[in-house]
Amino acid sequence: MSTENLLVELGTEELPPKALKSLGLAFRDGIVDGLGQRELDFGEVQWFASPRRLAVLVHGVALQAADREVEVLGPPVDRARDDAGDWTPAAAGFARKQGVEPDALQSIDTPKGARLGLRSRVSGVKTRECLNEIIQGSIQQLPIPKRMRWGASRVEFVRPVHWVVAMLGQDCDHGEILGLPTGNTTRGHRFHSSGTITLQRPEDYAAALAEARVVADFEQRQQMIREQVAIEASALQATAVIDQDLLDEVTGLVEWPVALTGSFEARFLEVPAEALVSSMKEHQKYFHLVDQQGQLKPNFVTLCNIESTDPIQVIAGNERVIRPRLADAAFFFATDKKVPLADRVEQLNSIVFQKQLGTVYDKTQRVVGLAGALAEQIGAPVESARRAALLSKTDLGTDMVLEFSDMQGIAGSYYALHDGEEADVAAALAQQYWPRFAGDQLPESGTACALGIADRLDTLVGIFGIGQPPSGSKDPFALRRASLAVLRIMVEKNLDLDLRNCLKLAAAQFPEDTLAEGTTGQVLVYMIERFRAWFEEEHIAAEVFRAVSARNLSRPLDIQRRVHAVDAFTRLPQAAALAAANKRVSNILDKLEEGHQFGEVSADLLHGAQEKALAEQLQALAHTSGEHLARDEYTQALACLADLRDTVDSFFDSVMVNADDSALRHNRLNLLKKLRDLFLQVADISQLAVSK
């Protein structure tokens, strides 16, 4: 079948740099999905995205989809004719719907018997006839939160569109897209190129734009930027810190990248490095440099979108722009240090945390009490934790944080050291916000852990307590992230805290009647449920977590150990049979009348070798597994219980549990209860018996 290469390009005014990569990928996916839905074969796909264009090049697109057989089924054959041999209304109606005479229908065998039907051959769709629809569909599916209009047109897009290329081979007339006729002319660099560029073939696209000073391939352009920045840094015997998000954004700002190195006065290095980096990165899109010891250097690398004939002037211009920003940071730092953090505590009364929960000062007082209690439980210095909690939010009122919001906590840490606070307290002020995102570093000290947990639990309990839990995608107080952070700290820092008790301590810090009844229980369920996503990322089956959560546990570190133990148990050859046996045992015991009294297993009432063997093995394993459980060795405990498989199977094959003799029946039920309790010490293994 004949094929042609397909090129689609939307030429626009400068697109949002932070969204450019996602727009380019989404445009590619939309074109590919459109072709696939119409069963049009194609080969390699390339995507392009630069500030002024989104484009897709698809090699070897079939000009027409393959013909296909269509089978339409009607009524059963035995109901197609009446006793007189005439077509029934059902058969006649089916034929009429298909536009044929009943005699044209045929008998088609199906798994449910012979059906009256019609087979026909349908010609495949022609690419040219549906290309406009494919492009329009891809545009409509782009992740654009807010579309705009321009001029008198009612067309909407993320930015004004000035040209559209749609080439199927040399055929470029495919109707209108976004109010513009499709064609084969594109445009190059805004300053290094003039006029239009006529494309002869789709595959000429990248080379033609390169001649016009446009590197259209997003990933190629990004690699050029990475290499240029590294070369500029090496000239100063330094290393460029290349943040991926910033790299994506800069790649979305330039079409012809040219890296240049600038500098600033060394005196600015007295300012916290984080503030300087924030200013360079967020406001100017500069890459900062560090020396071999990781210390910030008074230099930066910027990316230009032109090859200047006088780069010295370009560098000087960038240096002039950054200097006032750094001067502001230096001024804020010097001014803020004049007021000790301890003197700023009362100022927190003027900052509202949440209308029903009071000010940040109120929150601080609650966190002081909770952080101290948690510090005592984990063996951290109580007074240090309380002091860190008292100062934890004081930097919210500093000029530095008001100007650079991402300096929250970091600024407080610098100011605390300047004020003569303990190093442990100062470090905790910055680390209270760790982890800030998935995979981020955790607080290092016990003081920081106590503060970080206390701050988040106070928020969780407070927001749930006033009836504003997260719903759907709405989570204004980031409670999901806070929950996962608390779980990570407890588990990965080996803090064996009881979350239920921690939440009760948090609730106790609030004034009476602030929180709704049952708040701590609601928060506990919500937080433990966050574990589900955690273990899904570790590729642990949902039923494993369900088996552990059925125990209604509240120590995150303990839950994590049990989940991993049960996961290891499921890989044993005996696991499936023992899970099924536990399910059977649970079904038997659950049917007993409420209030049924269990007792000890009587050796005198054990009849038969299988019954005695199970009782003896349970007795032995209770001791062995008990020793493992005393050391929280859940994996070893379940591994030894796996030896029960053959004995349990023999018991159920040979013993009638519901014996007529009530004494025998009660004794056997006691035996099964002992079996279930052994496993329940770790998890409800019966939850693993999933029906196939």
**pLDDT given for residue 1 in this prediction:** 67
Query: What are 185's strand-pairing partners?
Result: 198
**Cα(117)–Cα(1) distance, rounded to whole angstroms?**
31
Check if the beta carbon of residue 232 is closer than 8 Å to that of residue 34.
no
Residue 667 has pLDDT above 90, yes or no: no
> Does residue 440 sit within a domain?
yes
Residue 229 has pLDDT above 60, yes or no: yes
| Residue 466 and residue 400 share a domain | yes
- Give the up-direction half-sphere exposure of residue 319: CA atoms within 13 A in the CB hemisphere: 14
State which of 284, 308, 336 marks the end of a domain.
Answer: 336
Straight-line distance from the first to the last Cα atom of the chain, in angstroms, rounded to the nearest whole number: 45
Residue 291 has pLDDT above 80, yes or no: yes
Check if the beta carbon of residue 204 is closer than 8 Å to that of residue 213.
no
Dihedral, 165, 168, 174, 179 alpha carbons, nearest 10: -20
Using alpha carbons, list the distances in angstroms from residue 230 to 170, 233, 290, 300, 307.
41, 5, 12, 11, 18
| Residue 116 and residue 157 share a domain | no
Question: pTM of this prediction?
Answer: 0.80
List, as one string, the DSSP characters of 272-306: -HHHHHHIIIIIT-PEEEE-TTSPEEEEEEEEESS
Shortest CA distance to 217 belongs to which of 201, 206, 228?
Answer: 206
**Cα(402)–Cα(545) distance, rounded to whole angstroms?**
43
3-state helix, strand, coil in the chain (%, to 5): 55, 15, 30
> Does residue 663 sit within a domain?
yes
Shortest CA distance to 550 belongs to which of 569, 528, 565?
Answer: 528
pLDDT tens across 88-110, in order?
998 899 989 888 888 888 888 88
Range in 334-343, 407-416, 440-449, 542-551 with the lowest mean pLDDT: 542-551
> Does residue 396 sit within a domain?
yes
Host domain of residue 497: 353-537
| Residue 632 and residue 565 share a domain | yes
pLDDT tens across 614-624, in order?
888 888 888 88
**Cα(117)–Cα(77) distance, rounded to whole angstroms?**
9
Residue 577 gets the label, from left (phi > 0), alpha (psi -120 to 50) or beta, of alpha
CATH code at position 667:
1.10.730.10
List, as one string, the DSSP characters of 176-240: EETTEE-BSEEE--TTT--SEEE-SSGGGHHHHHHHTT----HHHHHHHHHHHHHHHHHTTT-EE
> Does residue 342 sit within a domain?
no
> Does residue 341 sit within a domain?
no
> Does residue 348 sit within a domain?
no
Residue 590 has pLDDT above 80, yes or no: no
pLDDT band at 626 (very low <50, low <70, confident <90, very high): confident
Query: What are 161's strand-pairing partners?
Result: 12
3-state secondary structure of 356: coil
List, as one string, the DSSP characters of 613-640: HHHHHHHHHHHHHHHHHHTT-HHHHHHH
C-alpha angle with apex 301: 209 to 207, nearest 5 degrees? 10
Range in 467-471, 489-493, 496-500 with the lowest mean pLDDT: 467-471
pLDDT tens across 569-581, in order?
888 888 888 888 8
Residue 691 has pLDDT above 60, yes or no: no
Residue 33 has pLDDT above 90, yes or no: yes
pLDDT band at 646 (very low <50, low <70, confident <90, very high): confident
HEC string for 642-672: HHHHHHHHHHHHHCCCCCCCHHHHHHHHHHH
**pLDDT given for residue 112 in this prediction:** 84
**pLDDT given for residue 692 in this prediction:** 39
CATH code at position 28:
3.30.70.260
Residue 593 has pLDDT above 80, yes or no: no
State which of 195, 211, 227 marks the end of a domain.
Answer: 211
Element (H, E) at 581: helix 575-590
**Cα(380)–Cα(371) distance, rounded to whole angstroms?**
10
Residue 690 has pLDDT above 60, yes or no: no
> Does residue 545 sit within a domain?
no
| Residue 106 and residue 20 share a domain | no
Dihedral, 369, 371, 375, 378 alpha carbons, nearest 10: 120
| Residue 430 and residue 407 share a domain | yes
pLDDT band at 69 (very low <50, low <70, confident <90, very high): confident
Residue 503 has pLDDT above 50, yes or no: yes
State which of 162, 179, 211 marks the end of a domain.
Answer: 211
Mean pLDDT on 196-200: 96
**pLDDT given for residue 301 in this prediction:** 97
Shortest CA distance to 327 belongs to which of 271, 263, 402, 398?
Answer: 271
Mean pLDDT on 319-336: 94
**pLDDT given for residue 423 in this prediction:** 97
Shortest CA distance to 215 belongs to which of 195, 186, 189?
Answer: 189
Element (H, E) at 268: none
Check if the beta carbon of residue 451 is closer than 8 Å to that of residue 474.
no
Mean pLDDT on 550-573: 92
Instruction: Count up the domains in the chain and report the number.
Output: 5
Pairing mode of beta strands 258-263, 352-354: unpaired
| Residue 224 and residue 308 share a domain | yes
Please tell me what DSSP assigns to residue 118: E
| Residue 379 and residue 238 share a domain | no
Residue 305 has pLDDT above 70, yes or no: yes
Residue 144 has pLDDT above 70, yes or no: yes
| Residue 227 and residue 198 share a domain | no
Please tell me what DSSP assigns to residue 174: -
| Residue 398 and residue 364 share a domain | yes
Range in 109-123, 191-205, 497-511 with the lowest mean pLDDT: 109-123
Average pLDDT, the chain: 92
Query: What number of residues does the chain have?
Result: 692
pLDDT band at 50 (very low <50, low <70, confident <90, very high): very high
| Residue 155 and residue 17 share a domain | yes
Residue 385 has pLDDT above 90, yes or no: yes
pLDDT band at 267 (very low <50, low <70, confident <90, very high): very high
Residue 381 has pLDDT above 60, yes or no: yes
**pLDDT given for residue 354 in this prediction:** 94
CATH code at position 533:
1.10.3210
Pairing mode of beta strands 106-110, 53-62: unpaired
Mean pLDDT on 48-71: 93
pLDDT band at 689 (very low <50, low <70, confident <90, very high): low
Q: In what order do the strands lie in the sheet with 3-12?
A: 45-50, 53-62, 3-12, 161-168
> Does residue 661 sit within a domain?
yes
Name the token pair of 335.
Answer: 């001014």
| Residue 671 and residue 564 share a domain | yes
Range in 16-30, 478-492, 541-555, 629-643 with the lowest mean pLDDT: 629-643
Name the token pair of 154.
Answer: 């009612």
| Residue 573 and residue 651 share a domain | yes
Name the token pair of 312.
Answer: 């010295």
Shortest CA distance to 484 belongs to which of 540, 522, 530, 448?
Answer: 530
Range in 115-119, 165-169, 349-353 with the lowest mean pLDDT: 115-119
Helices (H), 311-351: 311-336
